[in-house]
Amino acid sequence: MKVYAVFLILIGIVFAQQSDEIPLVKVGNITITKNEFVSRYELNPGINRRKNDPDGNKNEFLLSMIAEKLLIVKAQREGWDNDTILTNAVKQIERMLVRDELYRTEVSQKISITNDEIKTAVKRSSNDLKVYFLFATTKKKADSLSLKIRNGKPLENFSFTQESQNECSGPDSAIARWGDVDERMENVIYTLQPKQTSKPFHMDDGWYIAKVMGRTTNIAAGENERKIQREKVETKLRQRKELSRMSDYMGNVLRSTKTDVNSRLLKSTIFHLWDIAQNNNPVRTDSTMFFIDRLLITLLHEAMGDSLHFTFVTFPHTTWTLETTLQKIAETNLATANPTFSKIRIDFEQRLRDLIDQEYLTQVGYARGLNQSTAVRNDLKIWRDSYLSQIVKKKIDDTISISQKDIEELRRVFSNDTSLIFNNDKAIAKTKEIKTIGNIDRFIGSVANSTEITFYEKNFKDVQVSDTPSMVFRILGFGGRMPAVPFVIPQHDWINYWQNKDAKLP
């Protein structure tokens, strides 16, 4: 089954489990709602789903969710729900949700778009402009060029000597499409008439003079096309306004913060990263990628030794060791294309600045009490349940022992797999995997035998889901991402060990 990676902007989205939601199954004191079922079914890859069996896929997924809840029921009975590993894992998720909630309350909820703004943007988005540009490094040079244009010299007739090209260049041409061009540039060129030349205007790299040479109008033919165009325009306007609002908010909040970074350790780390990059990729191309991941951290351990345990970043409220910082960077999937020493340094330092900013913003969220907000608590409960069920499975896994008799039985069953016959380590791993799955199924079945399970059959039959596999990420406010919902591990054969056959389940 082909799995498609889908990246959605899910800032502030809440999969709430409110009391008025439609119940599908009640497992002890835990209710699986339609909301949780649909979100987790739709937003994660469908492992082992059969293309022509949508009802069977739905049934097995629900049984797997019931299995997760039964493991939680067992954990609650045994007092395993205060496990330190669980607490730490849930805290990391909570921190991300708190920061995302801060973004929602301070940025996205404070954005408004007027009808006039939408009308103007829709009109602009219907026109592609052919534009010529002159560029100058200083305002003085740009004003000089502008004066020549006002005196009658067409912009397209300019040319510059080799000596003057360090200060002026052009004319260059481009097709400008609304939404793809810097907003500052748009605000100039979309006010020009064909053959009209602008005054000099400033951009990040210098000064520009633009002339609109032609215009192509794209007409939305039908109502549906106009609706799609308007939605795209509104999305782009919101993105721009959120970016501006976020920048202003971060500037205000972070202005007075102070963080100490061990500069000597930073310099040493970057040199070691460069050494590893050279060893891994002695010949670089544009497609060469250098990743900061867990394997790289292991290599740095070998090269830097105890230095990884030194304090690297010092905040007023906490400190990070170099190893902690590297782990945080690795979780962001930092990769440098065609790595040079300069590129590695720039990417590493920028990602470090981003993480430091996010740490402060997270603290602001906690100070505001956003960890107690309904949105955060509802989202966090789903993640806590998922982690808790995994901890119970780990406890079962730790009890599994493999005998030589077990291995020989496996080899008899898989007699055609020569790798299991001749590779003892692989045979042991496969034997443990099969035995663990069986033991977990029996364990869940035994919990089910002592737990009241209520199935709301009609509610479940009414649930409509898509069988298109996807992997959806929630893009977090102020940077970063996380899976939209926790993964549901397939685990449905436990029902074979359930003795209450009179109670109906899918």
DSSP tag of 197: B
Share the mean pLDDT of the chain: 91
Helix axes 424-449, 404-413, angle to 10 degrees: 100
CB contact at 8 A, 390 and 81: no
Averaged pLDDT for residues 272-298: 92
Closest listed residue to residue 64, CA positions, set 93, 36, 94, 22: 36
Q: Is the peptide bond before 171 cis (omega within 30 degrees of 0)?
A: yes
Give the whole-angstrom CA distance, residue 165 versus residue 360: 45
pLDDT at residue 471 is higher than 70: yes
Give the whole-angstrom CA distance, residue 8 versus residue 484: 9
pLDDT at residue 9 is higher than 60: no
Can you read off the two tokens belonging to residue 180? 């793809």
| Percent of the chain at pLDDT exceeding 70 | 96
Give the whole-angstrom CA distance, residue 444 versus residue 27: 12
pLDDT for residue 165: 79
| Percent of the chain at pLDDT exceeding 90 | 83
Q: What is the pLDDT of residues 16-30, one digit of tens each?
A: 334 348 999 999 999
pLDDT at residue 11 is higher than 70: no
pLDDT for residue 10: 40
CA 163 to chain centre: 47
pLDDT for residue 3: 37
pLDDT at residue 387 is higher than 90: yes
Q: What is the pLDDT of residues 153-179, one digit of tens each?
A: 999 999 998 878 789 999 999 999 999
Weakest-pLDDT range from 97-106, 130-139, 279-288, 423-432:
279-288
Can you read off the two tokens belonging to residue 305? 């030794």
Q: For the chain, report the end-to-end CA distance as a whole number of angstroms.
A: 23
Q: What is the pLDDT of residues 177-197, one digit of tens each?
A: 999 999 999 999 999 999 999
Q: What are the residues whose beta carbons fall under 8 Å from the beta carbon of 169, sequence distance 6 or more?
A: 134, 135, 160
Closest listed residue to residue 144, CA positions, set 86, 207, 231: 207
- Number of other residues whose CB lies within 10 A of the CB of residue 505: 18
Can you read off the two tokens belonging to residue 456? 């709301």
What residue segments make up the domains of the chain, in order of their start?
Answer: 4-79+390-497, 127-217
Give the whole-angstrom CA distance, residue 255 versus residue 30: 45
Q: What is the rounded radius of gyration, in angstroms, for the C-alpha atoms of the chain?
A: 30
Q: What is the pLDDT of residues 65-98, one digit of tens each?
A: 999 999 999 999 999 988 899 999 999 999 999 9
pLDDT for residue 340: 94
Alpha-helix runs per DSSP H in 368-423: 374-398, 404-413, 418-422
pLDDT for residue 220: 78
Residues pairing with 444 in the sheet: none
Q: What is the pLDDT of residues 353-368, one digit of tens each?
A: 999 999 999 999 999 9
CATH 3.40.50.720 correct for 127-217: no
CB contact at 8 A, 144 and 121: no
pLDDT at residue 296 is higher than 70: yes
Can you read off the two tokens belonging to residue 247? 């920048």
pLDDT for residue 77: 95
Give the whole-angstrom CA distance, residue 115 versus residue 135: 35
Q: What is the pLDDT of residues 194-233, one digit of tens each?
A: 999 999 999 999 999 999 999 999 887 788 989 999 999 9
Which tops the pLDDT comparison, 5 or 500? Answer: 500
> Sign of dihedral through CA atoms 294, 300, 301, 306?
negative
Q: What is the pLDDT of residues 100-145, one digit of tens each?
A: 999 999 999 999 999 999 999 999 999 999 999 999 999 999 999 9
Q: Helix, strand, coil: what percent of the chain each, to 5?
A: 55, 15, 30
Decide the pairing of beta strands 201-203 and 206-217.
antiparallel
CB contact at 8 A, 499 and 446: no
